[in-house]
Structure 1
């Protein structure tokens, strides 16, 4: 796994964070060292897929990056389901296509027992969805303009069949300044423990300032309820990172 050292050297100007080739190359290392509990979230997404994904239904991994969730869901989904892995990053989509093509060539027998994966480079806000039994937004919504988030979640709900579920994982902020400062500092301690230097932390924070816009947990819960989900339950939190499960009633 290539190590993330994108911000290891000082820069005269730190531009906005982009999911380009440099990030795609080191993304597994970057996210595992930046998001506490990321592996646990993926493990539960795999577990939920076994419960949620219905035969002959669709799964949408929105903001799929390199397909970590897609791969795990595929191992649990019925063979007649279809997974749509969608991302607007050309670099991520190209690597995911190469990865799946390589896996198909080396293990043809196993692949024949798995459901189809359709990979699309597309703006998530333009994605058409239907017959969905599971939708995953794993640290994706925070990169979408705030004014477009409600509409996207409403479209996810409208496309979902009864009994389907949506997993929303996000970095969050807090109304209470003391709570915000404490959990933000604990997150920085986590990154330091994972080997990031103060320079790397500072430069990446600058690059994300106007790109990743966090909201409060209650904002996410209210938005999912407004979209129509009858059951909305936060199931994971580590510092300022959460994951929420929303279910459409049968």
Structure 2
């Protein structure tokens, strides 16, 4: 059995040949100075350059979610089946699967809408996983021509789509999955109880402060993400999965207002 990556540190270890992560210039400082006008957040070259640091300091539990993907695949993925990593960004989920599964265990297509993300993900995955059958494609997951797959990973991607498009995407993913296939859906979520939601948001801001972000950075990034990242409640996610035809779904992980669900297609 091939040795696995230390998936607890996969985000920290994500690097690019042209962008040594030890260089302080690749620390996330996008919102560290006062801006007269905060532009809408986008996954451009500026974000790509500091994305590993941004994720590491901004998404509670991201490493733990990555670390479980291979274990989930070992339990639920038919040997040799196809896998999608949708909204792959720099390919961390693909790296996690390749680090835990041998090359003949699966074929994978990683998809992202951002040309900058796709270029870096393609470079990184080719360098880190040369023996695995991994394709990186630029595309919109709303219009993608899906092939039959045994597992689909949708890590912090659905939240960036307009709400009116989300049901159709999940329905298409259910249709693409083979019988017995699984969808792993990770998202930032809101709590239906306003008081509980406020507590989670406040503690999330504490989490970011503890990771070195200033109040200015927290405020300006929140403004940049307004109407760009629009989270749903866990109930809304489970209801959507049920409407799409999944036989069952469960929340297997939650850390403050970040959660990961798994949905099962009937065998």
Using the size of structure 1 for normalisation, the TM-score is 0.93
- The 1:77–1:156 alpha-carbon spacing in structure 2 relative to 1, beyond 3 Å, is farther
Deviates more, 1:62-71 or 1:40-49: 40-49
Aligned equivalent of 1:168, options 185, 197, 204: 185
Q: Provide the alpha-carbon RMSD of the alignment.
A: 1.3
Question: What corresponds to 2:110 in structure 1?
Answer: 85
Q: Does 1:60 align with 2:75?
A: no
User: Retained in 2: the 8 A contact 1:50–1:77?
Assistant: no
Offset of residue 81 of structure 1 = 2.8
Matches within 5 A, 1:100-249: 100-103=125-128, 111-112=130-131, 114=132, 116-249=133-266
SS of residue matched to 1:178:
helix
Aligned equivalent of 2:35, options 8, 11, 14: 11
Q: Does 1:38 align with 2:55?
A: no
SS of residue matched to 2:54:
helix
| Whole-Å separation in 2 of the counterparts to 1:80 and 1:126 | 27
Offset of residue 54 of structure 1 = 1.7
SS of residue matched to 1:79:
helix
| Whole-Å separation in 2 of the counterparts to 1:246 and 1:220 | 10
| Whole-Å separation in 1 of the counterparts to 2:221 and 2:178 | 39
Aligned equivalent of 2:120, options 71, 95, 98: 95
Offset of residue 79 of structure 1 = 1.1
What number of residue pairs does the alignment pair up?
242
Using the size of structure 2 for normalisation, the TM-score is 0.87
User: Retained in 1: the 8 A contact 2:87–2:157?
Assistant: yes
Question: What corresponds to 2:11 in structure 1?
Answer: none
| Gapped regions of structure 2 (runs ≥ 5) | 1-20
Question: What corresponds to 1:21 in structure 2?
Answer: 45
